[in-house]
A and B are shown apart, each in its own frame.
Chain A
Amino acid sequence: MAPSDRPPLTQARPKQERDLIAENLRTLFDETAREALPDRFKDLLRRMAEEERK
Chain B
Amino acid sequence: MTTVSADAPFHVQLEAMAPTLRALARSLTRNAAHADDLTQDTLMKAWANRDRYTQGTNLRAWLFTIMRNAFYSDMRKKSREVEDADGAMSARLASRPTQDHVMAMRDFESALATIAPDQREALILVGAAGLSYEEAAEICGCAVGTVKSRVNRARVRLAEILKVSDGADMTSDGLMDAAMGAVSTSAS
Contacts and interface: CB of A to CB of B under 8 A. Distances in A.
B129 A29 contact: yes
Query: Chain B interface residue count: which class?
Result: 35 or more
A23 B17 CA distance: 21
A45 B11 contact: yes
Contacts of A9: 159, 162-163, 166
A33 B23 contact: yes
Q: Is the interface of A mostly helix, strand, loop or mixed?
A: helix
Q: Is the interface of B mostly helix, strand, loop or mixed?
A: helix
A10 B39 CA distance: 36
A37 B19 contact: yes
A21 B36 contact: no
A44 B36 CA distance: 12
B95 to A, nearest CB: 10
B108 A29 contact: no
B4 interface: no
B56 interface: no
Contacts of B12: 49
A49 B9 contact: yes
B166 A24 contact: no
Interface of A: 3-4, 8-10, 14, 17-18, 21-22, 24-35, 37-38, 40-41, 44-45, 48-49, 51-52
12 contacts: A3-B104, A9-B162, A21-B155, A24-B104, A25-B123, A26-B128, A27-B105, A33-B19, A33-B20, A33-B22, A41-B39, A52-B11
